[in-house]
A and B are shown apart, each in its own frame.
Chain A
Amino acid sequence: MSAFLQQMINGLSIGSVYALMAVGYSLVYSIMNFSNFAHGGVIMIGAYMGFFLMTALELPFAVAFVLAAIGAGLLAVSLERIAYRPLRKRNAPFLYFIISAMGASIFLENIVVATIGPTFRTYPKVFSSTPFQFGQISVGRLDAIMFLISGISLMMLVYIIEKTKTGMAIKSTAYSIRASTLMGVNTDRIIFIVFGLGGVLAGIAGVLFGMKYTVYPQIGFITMKSFIAAVFGGLGSLPGAVIGSILLGVIETLTAGYFSSQYRDLIAFILLIAVLIWRPSGLMGKITEDKA
């Protein structure tokens, strides 16, 4: 029994890691209707920013954390300016956005390799690594903190979207860009804000990953899993992204723990297909009219 509980905790913690990434990605999807594959790159840069702010400038963790989040937000916004806006102005189909995003992702990874180098970097220790013990079950301190920070940032995001005027505009833009423009919403501004928010979330995720898993140029690859999680939950739906991520984390963990760790990803894939056959736009997907 304790082994099962331990596995559930493992699954929740892995799932919350996925969730933090999936939400930023899903947020952009809800407005732009394309998979922003550069999200992983932004996370990676966020992680490096946090690392250098803490080591080179010796800033305290909290300050570095906030600055890295803002920095990643700015990066995401500039990416939108450079790589996506020209496409948007031309009403290009979503394929082009994806390719542009992939180019950005290759670019970001390799510019880090070329300038900073491929060496793994370890964050200075901020939190003790001794876990909380509950009988046989251990919960990592960093995991608990991550869970908390992800929770708080997600709640802030929900607040922005549900309670502010900008949030209203984001929701209406997500519903239909054209209609919102006609209703007087400045969609350029909304897209700017959405990318900024997505970037800030990526920065937060980056710093937390960096602390947990060290920093290296390929750290953005973990986002592949969160894309799958977001599809699981339904693209463009924030609660879907969270639920999909937690589910994927738990399913992966249980498969590895009780079935086969060698074939874990295969089983996760079969499950994904099964969910999509049952519900073609994920568990809580946004129903989109045919735009392609």
Chain B
Amino acid sequence: MGWYYIQGILILSGIYLMAVLGLSLLTGFTGLFSFGHAGFMAVGAYTTAAMTIKFNVPFILALLIGGLAAALVSLVIGKLTLNLKGDYFCIATLGFGEAIRLILDNVQYFGGARGWPGIPLKTGLMNVIIFNVIAVVILVNLIKSRHGRNLQAIREEEMASQIIGINVFKYKMISLAISAAYAGIAGGMLAHYTGFLQPKMFQLIKSTELTIMVIFGGLGSISGSIIGAIVLTSLPEVLRAFDRWRLVVYGASVIFIMITRPQGLMGGYEITITNIKKLISRITSLGKKKHTIGGDN
């Protein structure tokens, strides 16, 4: 039994989880859909690596700077595109992700398309877990706060939220910036896990996979996002035995999940002690209580 291998999967799940948490805030709690998060990861990854290698900044600080850089970039993008509706915003973020990659391909200072080897290996299972716990705590508190409720109000009824005096644009910006910061930190951890960066690592498919993880776990559920990130990072590993049929199965299961359970695994619910108790009592007295959809906590 290869603990070393499992450790690898867990670290990678943890790295993706960080990005997924951010995306969960944006997609699950604010209702915005981004195809550019791999771009934010790239910004964070390259910034963090530049900090540790070129300026000898300590790893943790470098990660925060990486996250900050991604957040700053997101503010610029958000300012320009957050007023756009649904698919327009989607395609604009898609274009952004590709544009970031193209710039990195051309910038020889960071190795261009040939990549940037020799980044010190600093990401381990321990610090990934610690960072993720901190990230979850921050996110949960944010969502429970007044600001979090405002975000969810925007997700449900943008027009109505505007009318009752929520500054929709500002909140969307905050949500985008925080989620970009999470993605940036994830990128930084990734850089110090593989020890090598290449723009190719941040293709559109990465953004898509992150979004699939959020939706798989269930929009508006942090525990769902956590499960989504871990399950969907391990799934391709579990499917290794399928050889070249692996991604066929992956694609089919994505469709299957969407059509059988479009609200995702957790469907807006959280795993908390009270909810587990409720679930148990519900199983024992099947089908007596009536529940409304989307009620978290």
Contact = CB atoms under 8 A, between A and B. Distances in A.
Given A266-B99, A273-B80, A281-B85, A228 B91 contact: yes
Interface in B1-52: 27, 31, 33
Contact of A99 (B91, B215, B245): B215
Nearest to A232: B91
A269 B88 contact: no
Contacts of B248: 107, 110-111, 114
Contacts of A266: 99, 102-103
A96 B262 contact: yes
A48 interface: no
Nearest to B260: A86
Interface residues of A, number: 50
A227 B258 contact: no
Contact of B91 (A82, A107, A231): A231
Contacts of B255: 82-83, 100, 103-104, 107
B273 interface: no
A272 B92 contact: yes
A94 B184 CA distance: 27
A288 B87 CA distance: 11
A100 B251 contact: no
B91 A227 contact: yes
A64 to B, nearest CB: 26
Contacts of B244: 110, 113-114
B258 A103 contact: yes
Given A103-B255, A110-B251, A280 B215 contact: no
Interface residues of B, number: 45
Given A227-B91, A273-B81, A276-B92, A87 B99 contact: no
Given A83-B255, A113-B244, A272-B92, A102 B102 contact: no
**Most chain A beta-carbon neighbours within 10 Å: one of B95, B212, B253:** B95
A100 B92 contact: no
30 contacts: A33-B86, A35-B87, A35-B90, A82-B259, A83-B255, A83-B259, A86-B259, A87-B258, A98-B90, A100-B258, A102-B254, A106-B247, A107-B252, A110-B247, A114-B244, A114-B245, A224-B94, A228-B91, A228-B94, A231-B91, A231-B92, A235-B88, A263-B102, A265-B99, A269-B98, A272-B92, A276-B84, A277-B80, A280-B84, A292-B85
Interface of B: 27, 31, 33, 80-81, 83-88, 90-92, 94-96, 98-99, 102-103, 106, 158-159, 204, 208, 211-212, 215, 219, 244-248, 250-255, 258-260, 262
Given A227-B94, A273-B92, 12 more contacts: A29-B87, A82-B255, A87-B262, A100-B258, A104-B255, A105-B251, A114-B245, A228-B95, A265-B102, A276-B81, A292-B31, A292-B86
Interface of A: 29, 33-35, 82-83, 86-87, 90, 92, 94-96, 98-100, 102-111, 113-114, 224, 227-228, 231, 235, 262-263, 265-266, 268-270, 272-273, 276-277, 280-282, 288, 290, 292
